[in-house]
């Protein structure tokens, strides 16, 4: 299985890290930090302006610096069948 990874920035230190995407929607992204028994899930929600996604894990704030529009475009590009809704 091919896991999608995104790069997030830790606001306190400015460091970046790659995390695995568990669930990705324009309304929110759920990511997994770490591997194995020590992995932690984190919910990233869009900011008020919609220019980034932000969340907190273990007291640290992390930021995914892409807008809602860019994330929706990524979702549409990866799976174009989700856009096409046909009423039966």
pLDDT in tens, 41-70: 999 999 999 999 999 999 999 999 999 999
Q: Would you tell me how many other CB atoms lie within 10 Å of the CB of residue 12?
A: 10
Q: What is the pTM of this model?
A: 0.84
Which residues sit opposite 55 in a β-bridge?
A: 62
Q: What is the pLDDT of residue 87?
A: 62
Q: Give the DSSP letter of residue 49.
A: T
Q: What percent of the chain clears pLDDT 70, i.e. is strictly above it?
A: 89
50, 68 Cβ separation under 8 angstroms: yes
Is residue 86 predicted with pLDDT exceeding 90? no
Is residue 73 predicted with pLDDT exceeding 70? yes
Q: Which residue has the higher pLDDT, 75 or 1?
A: 75
| DSSP H or E segment with residue 3 | none
Segment 11-26 shows an average pLDDT of 94
Segment 13-23 shows an average pLDDT of 95
């Amino acid at each position: 299985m091919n896991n999608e990874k995104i790069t997030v920035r830790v606001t306190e230190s400015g460091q970046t890290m790659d995390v695995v995407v568990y669930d990705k929607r324009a309304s929110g992204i759920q990511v997994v930090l770490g591997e194995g028994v020590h992995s932690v899930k984190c919910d990233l929600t869009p900011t008020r302006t919609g220019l980034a996604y932000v969340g907190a894990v273990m007291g640290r704030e992390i930021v995914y610096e892409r807008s809602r529009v860019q994330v929706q475009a990524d979702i549409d590009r990866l799976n174009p069948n989700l856009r096409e809704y046909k009423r039966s």
